[in-house]
């Protein structure tokens, strides 16, 4: 999501930020039922941002959650903050053995794996902007984390879920994978790939009772987003950067928050989404649904 702001920032700065109204607040949980009671989830990139928010949402709904992340310090801290039903395992998603190990550890400790959320990802460099100057080494790095690691996560989750005859696999994509031009080329290409992976995997996994879907959020002011924005605007405060992100959406009196993505993941992971598979759930307030044309009115003279 951080990358979505890079190539659309000019338009964003021309528009005033619109504060979300209380009616659209997505924070907290007012639920009376626990939709993931007794379930076990493994979330990659779960130490911060969307992964941590989703872990918190799953925990509120009764799940036990294993956070897999390369950042051990943040992962351990996040697990402690989230409570006794959360735990951390260090995992470099670019190393297949690490992904396999995280799945195996989860199953060994909890006896099963109900939800696998492949959420880890990076933006990659924001320059050079031209495809004609693309650094192929950097491109391959983005693809290893954003694409190959996702396939690895699907592979090892499937090894557990196919014999069980049930399970849910989720992947994080982006609106940058819905329309071109939102983000740097490497990130955009990687995110366009995710829905295709999901559909391909669904064609096999459906016959085993395993569901797989992806989520494509709009830009969210996560730590990752703000870190990349600081590279573009090093003199702008974090508060102003957050306001810039809030002003990017099309749906007035609302903004895309971490909780929106977490609740989308909850829907797909729970029995509420029991007949949804092979789907790309776009959480963008209609941003990719339309384009307002700047109609060039002809001169009558």
Burial 37-59 (b: 16+ CB within 10 A, else e): eebbbbbbbbbbbbbbbbbbbbb
pLDDT score of 226: 84
pLDDT score of 13: 45
Gap between the Cα atoms of 79 and 89, Å rounded: 10
DSSP structure string for 229-257: HHHH-TTS-HHHHHHHHHTT-SSTT----
Gap between the Cα atoms of 73 and 81, Å rounded: 12
C-beta of residue 42 within 8 angstroms of C-beta of residue 113: yes
Which of the 8 DSSP states describes residue 215? E
pLDDT score of 180: 95
Backbone angles phi, psi at 216, to 5 degrees: -115, 95
pLDDT score of 1: 54
pLDDT score of 261: 97
Which of the 8 DSSP states describes residue 147? I
Query: In three state form, how does the secondary structure of 150-194 look?
Result: HHHHHHHHHHHHHHHCCEEEEEECCHHHCCCCCCCHHHHHHHHHH
pLDDT score of 298: 76
The residues, any chain, with a CB within 8 Å of residue 294's CB and separated by 6 or more, are none
Domains of the chain, first to last: 40-220+256-283 (3.40.50.720)
pLDDT score of 19: 42
The number of CA neighbours under 13 Å toward the Cβ of 142 is 24
C-beta of residue 42 within 8 angstroms of C-beta of residue 115: yes
Does the active-site annotation cover 187? Answer: yes
The residues, any chain, with a CB within 8 Å of residue 129's CB and separated by 6 or more, are 7, 184
C-beta of residue 174 within 8 angstroms of C-beta of residue 195: no
Given the residues 24, 117, 187, 275, select the one marked as catalytic.
187
pLDDT score of 248: 85
Helix (H) / strand (E) element for 211: namely strand 210-217
Q: Mean pLDDT in runs of 10 for the chain (301 residues)? A: 50 43 45 88 97 98 98 98 98 98 98 98 90 97 98 98 98 97 95 98 98 96 82 88 86 92 98 98 95 75 63
Gap between the Cα atoms of 48 and 30, Å rounded: 23
pLDDT score of 5: 52
Collapsed DSSP state (helix, strand, coil) of residue 40? strand
């Amino acid at each position: 999501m951080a990358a979505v702001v890079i190539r659309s920032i000019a338009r964003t700065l021309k528009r005033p930020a619109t504060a979300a109204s209380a009616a659209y607040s997505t924070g907290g949980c007012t639920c009376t039922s626990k939709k993931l009671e007794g379930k076990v989830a493994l979330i990659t990139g779960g130490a911060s941002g969307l992964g941590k928010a989703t872990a918190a949402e799953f925990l509120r709904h009764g799940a036990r959650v294993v956070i897999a992340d390369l950042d051990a310090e943040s992962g351990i801290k996040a697990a402690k903050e989230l409570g006794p039903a959360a735990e951390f395992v260090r995992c470099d998603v670019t190393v297949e053995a690490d992904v396999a190990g995280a799945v195996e550890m989860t199953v060994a400790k909890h006896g099963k794996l109900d939800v696998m959320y492949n959420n880890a990802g990076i933006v990659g460099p924001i320059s050079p902007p031209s495809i004609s100057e693309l650094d192929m080494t950097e491109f391959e790095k983005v693809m290893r984390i954003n694409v190959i690691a996702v396939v690895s996560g699907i592979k090892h989750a499937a090894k557990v879920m196919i014999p069980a005859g049930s399970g849910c696999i989720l992947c994080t994509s982006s609106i940058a994978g819905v329309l071109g031009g939102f983000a740097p080329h490497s990130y955009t290409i990687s995110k366009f790939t995710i829905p295709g992976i999901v559909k391909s995997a669904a064609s096999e996994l459906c016959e085993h009772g395993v569901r797989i879907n992806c989520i494509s959020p709009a830009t969210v002011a996560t730590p990752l987003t703000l870190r990349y924005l600081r590279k573009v605007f090093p003199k702008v405060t974090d508060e102003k950067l957050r306001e810039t992100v809030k002003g990017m959406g099309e749906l007035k009196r609302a903004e895309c928050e971490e909780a929106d993505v977490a609740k989308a993941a909850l829907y797909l992971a729970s029995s509420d989404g029991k007949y949804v598979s092979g789907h790309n759930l776009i959480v963008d307030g209609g941003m990719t649904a339309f384009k307002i044309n700047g109609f060039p009115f002809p001169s009558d003279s």
